A and B are shown apart, each in its own frame.
Chain A
Amino acid sequence: MIRIAFAGKGGSGKSSVSGTFARLLARRDRPVLAVDSDPLPGMAYSLGIPVDDHPTPDDVVVEGPEGGPKWVLRPGLDAAGFIDQYAAAGPDDVRYLQFGNSWGHWSTLQRGQHAWSQVVREMDPNAWNVVGDLPGGTRQAMFGWAKYADVLALVVEPTAKSIQVARRLRNITKAEWSPEHVVVVANRIDHPDDVQRIHDALERPIIGAIPDDAAVTAADKRAAAPLDDGSGPFVDAVEQLVDTVESSYDAVS
């Protein structure tokens, strides 16, 4: 099973890439769970799920035991049952698990985050391919929210700011719980030197180079999934990215 999380600077295109990646992977007859831990969730749009807010109902969790997590899944509900009942169903049979939304009540957000963490931690590793979308910046990645992933893909634009954030994220490899592989996806490439420039700055394997594609901006403006507009430079490049990741996993297993 593939377990990959996408991180990077805000606005670098993580949600567009991760949502499209999840659906293309699912089209290869793989069960895919898309996990969105951004409190300003955007992955639903890029998946083509017509809800941007899919909170966990409050009564899904109960207070946890003393010394343990504040909230735990209610008795009788396990990770598989949670996904079955509460993960949103998306196109291409992708299931979508949202961590919460920062404009809900803080207590609902906190309960949802605990439920999300428990589900991601306890789900059967052989049941789902997991594609994660982290919020922009370094905070969540550095605090272990991508522990579920074997591969952390840094989505990097050819800008100084985006590269700077990725350089900080690269230090995650020093953490005990770091994903095994930290790789780079170069996004919005529109100059022949862009990929080399990103590679020179980050010194990490670049597993995908996605061209700047006006169709993605147009889809964003319609709150539509880039994939639903058919193929094009962006979708074709993400398809190649899926090929690369899939063949890397095949080579290891």
Chain B
Amino acid sequence: MDVPVRPPKRLLLNAYLLFFLVHDNQVGVGVLGFQRLIAEFVYQDAWIAVLLAGLFVHVTVWAILRTLRLYDPTDLYGVHRVVWGKWLGNLLSVVYLLLLAAPVLVIIQTYTEVVQTWLASDFPSWFLSLVLLSLVLYGALGGLRVIAGMCVLGIFFTVWMVLLAYFPLQYAVWTHLLPVWEADLPSMMKAVQKMSLTLSGFEILYFVYPYIRDRQQAMRWAQLGVLLTNLLYLTAMLTATVYFSHEQLMRNIWAQLSMLKIIQIPFLERFEYVVIPLWVLVLLPNLLLYTWASTRGLKRIFSLSQKKSTIALLFVVFAAGFFFNTRQKINTLNNLFNIVYFYAVFLYPLLLYPIAILRKKWQTRQEVAKG
């Protein structure tokens, strides 16, 4: 495996696409129901937790891009190889690519749960995952350019939903937000950590970075993408806090969808029936990006054909779906990944960056010594 990644010029993407890629990969099923998990610990201060977690993401994204810039142009697999050496590096890469494949399963299972709860309780899980995975296969075979295109179209078709916050805000009780900053630090930290699965997705930067044409612009667009996500989550959290009382919010697993129920326009009501199917366009970029990044790793480390490994991966995800057939199991899966992702996606880049710097310095010194 070569450390530098130099894709052919026709496959390169403009840096502004990172805005769409990062934002779209962050927003997924999580946003439909994250409010309860946060408010559980910090009550009316939940929006502060969202804000803090968001700031944390900005820092992590900064660390990710600085790490990549050290060995430009490369991806995480390349960085692992340089920093940790052949064996440890590849081992870490394999762990990471497995972590990237996991969200494909988590997202599909969670979405299935949403569909079965809200739309049709008799919708067979395996069939839903079969359809979604076929779509993913068709898109992933088109390569990163098609995936990025799906992110752009997905955002165009779903961004208007922010305006739907207007309806619940008509019933807002703003005093729900008072008093501000009542939570103590440990519970605030716990709430911030609970945001990790919802906020994750920016780690895709580690893998798409070498495919960016003007990489010096990458930082700006990636940070803007994260900013948009944070604003969106902040809006969602604030809306839920002022719309529901704390007790109500604790009883609503999918708070975002519950809020949509009250919307009425002359020819349409019960917007959750519109929004849940439309959410396919939000999920699809996530599924595509994670599948791509994960199979990309298989190609980088083991030189496997990405076409074949994509088919294999999607098949494994399909098969694994049969084991996660109850609410309990899916919940356990979600909780587990909340913790694993907190370490792998939020903390690990912050650890990797200083080590990569030290490694780079040590390397240069050795080269100088060699002459």
Q: Tell whether A and B belong to one assembly.
A: no
| Contacts from A to B (Cβ < 8 Å) | none
| B interface, CB within 8 angstroms of A | none
